[in-house]
Amino acid sequence: MMRQPAISLRHRRLRPTMDQTLGAPSIERLLLDGWETTNLGMALVRFSFLSILLALASLAAQAQQPSDKPQPTQQSSADAHISKGTQLLHDQLYEAAAKEFEQATALEPNNAEAHFEDAVCLLALGRNDDARAQFEQVEKLKGSSRYVTYYLGRLDLLANDYPSAIKRLNAVAATPPFPDTYFHLGVAYVSSGDTEKGIAWLEKAVKLTPTDYRAHYRLARAYSSAGREQDAAHEYALYNQYLNQHKSTETDARACSEALRTQSADAAHDVCQHMFDPNDPEKLTLLGQLYGEAGQFPQALDPLNQAVKLDPDSYEAWHDLGLTYFRLEKYADARGPLEKAARLRPQAYGTVVMLGATLYMLGDDAAALPVLEHAHQLNPSDEQTAAILDKLRAEQPKK
């Protein structure tokens, strides 16, 4: 049987306000990540310790208070640092994320995942030599992988070592780990002086990612170098078209965010519908995030449901869809999206603890228990998670 909150229905939901949030995110931030961590604790049902547990999902990276209790094991501490780092990386807080991953590798020097994520952060920070050292450490620990090979190829390209970049990126081109693999390989060939092969790979890149204005720009330059001025003019036109669309998305997002903040729901909806593109999962996810950040959860469902159909491997879209259903108290509907999000990013504490809470609300304690145990492993200092785990364990039938 599904659980009910212990207080009356009219007191069960809070709408987030500017004063209640942890700080209104900038539109640039919303363009890059989800709204789930900003207001997570504000729209949840308010009953007993469960609301406290869920509020912590938005505060997973906060400083922990000293405790008399036994300290977590080295293994669990490393997992906690990885979990915090993963969330910070998702929020594009690379410096803070790198520190978490570095603490994890100090505790577990052979933890390849921590070295890999640290390397990604270091690359984003422009610390390319340090990033290379971490990627090479992953290779020593786990052997070669197409993801590490891709990143080492990009580092070679940044270091103007074009032969090595070509060799590495060619090695993963058959099964590219990321959509921009062809783009970087094409740039490496052109930079090495092999314009013909560079054009071939850049043509593949624009077919795979037709809205990537960077690929059109590089292909236009390559065509021009090869004397193909008509083709170059066509690609320059596409470059300007998609660059303007990118800028238009930012403009529309700002307008939508402002309308949701200052206008009536109906008027804001008219403004925000300019962002509804049934063929663009990233724009649909962003629209759902903007509705969710404004507390307009029913309006968020349509774009988010469309987004997961178009991009079934998008962690952000699945997580935001599950969170939206949870905030609407549609726990059965929330379960599937949150399970999908947790499979895509098992170290994301906010997702894992939300899934556990959903299962708990559905009365499926047997399923909730291992999920919340995993959440506790990711954040062993969370005393509220420990409390609900003790309660669930106590309620389990005696063998």
Give CA 343 to chain center in angstroms: 13
Task: Flag whether 140 is in a domain.
Answer: no
The reported pLDDT for the residue numbered 38 is: 33
* Amino acid letter, residue 291: Y
- How far is Cα 27 from Cα 30, in angstroms, rounded to an integer? 5
CA atoms within 13 Å, Cβ hemisphere of 173? 18
Q: Which tokens in the block code for residue 244?
A: 């303007």
Question: How high is the pLDDT of residue 2?
Answer: 53
Q: Cα–Cα distance between 93 and 206 in angstroms, integer?
A: 30
Residue 184 is assigned to a structural domain of this protein: no
Task: State pLDDT tens for residues 347-381.
Answer: 888 899 999 999 999 999 899 999 999 988 888 87
42: confidence class by pLDDT, cuts 50, 70, 90 = very low
Q: 191 in a domain, yes or no?
A: no
**Secondary structure string (H, E, C) spanning 158-181:** HCCCHHHHHHHHHHCCCCCCCCCH
- Cα 30 to chain center, whole Å? 12
Considering the domain boundaries, does residue 121 fall inside one?
no
Nearest C-alpha neighbor of 52 from the set 359, 368, 357, 297: 357
- With contact defined as beta carbons under 8 Å apart, do 281 and 321 qualify? no
Residue 382, in any domain of the structure = yes
The residue assigned the tokens 């005393």 is 383
Question: Could you tell me the CATH number of the domain that includes residue 307?
Answer: 1.25.40.10
By the 8 A CB rule, do 115 and 141 touch? yes
Q: Between these two residues, 54 and 309, which has the higher pLDDT value?
A: 309
For 215-259, write each residue's pLDDT tens digit: 999 999 999 989 999 999 999 999 888 888 887 888 889 999 999
Mean pLDDT across the chain: 81
Q: Which of 190, 119, 179 is nearest to 157 (CA)?
A: 190
Inform me whether the pLDDT recorded for 188 exceeds 60.
yes
pLDDT digits (tens, 9 = 90+) for 200-211: 999 999 999 998
Mean pLDDT, range 111-129, rounded to an integer = 94
Residue with tokens 């938005």: 58
Q: How many CB atoms lie within 10 A of CB 121?
A: 26
- Which residue range forms the structural domain that includes residue 296? 26-56+280-392
Please write the tens of the pLDDT for every residue from 57-77. Answer: 443 333 333 333 344 445 558
Q: Give me the pLDDT at residue 14, please.
A: 25
Instruction: Please report whether residue 250 resides in a domain.
Output: no
pLDDT average, residue stretch 157-167:
95
- For 49, 97, 350, 381, 382, the CA distances from 65, given in Å and listed in that order, are 18, 20, 20, 9, 10
Predicted TM-score (pTM) above 0.75: no
Is residue 183 predicted with pLDDT exceeding 80?
Answer: yes
Q: Is the pLDDT of residue 27 over 80?
A: no
CB contact at 8 A, 364 and 333: no
Domain count, the chain: 1
Task: Please give the pLDDT value at position 329.
Answer: 93
pLDDT at 110 exceeding the cut of 70: yes
Is residue 91, in this structure, part of any structural domain at all? no
Lowest mean pLDDT among 19-23, 227-231, 272-276, 290-294: 19-23
In whole angstroms, give the CA distance from residue 121 to residue 159.
18
What is the spatial distance between Cα 275 and Cα 264, in angstroms, rounded to a whole number? Answer: 18
In a domain, 204, yes or no: no
Which residues have a Cβ under 8 Å from the Cβ of 139 and sit 6 or more positions away? 145, 148
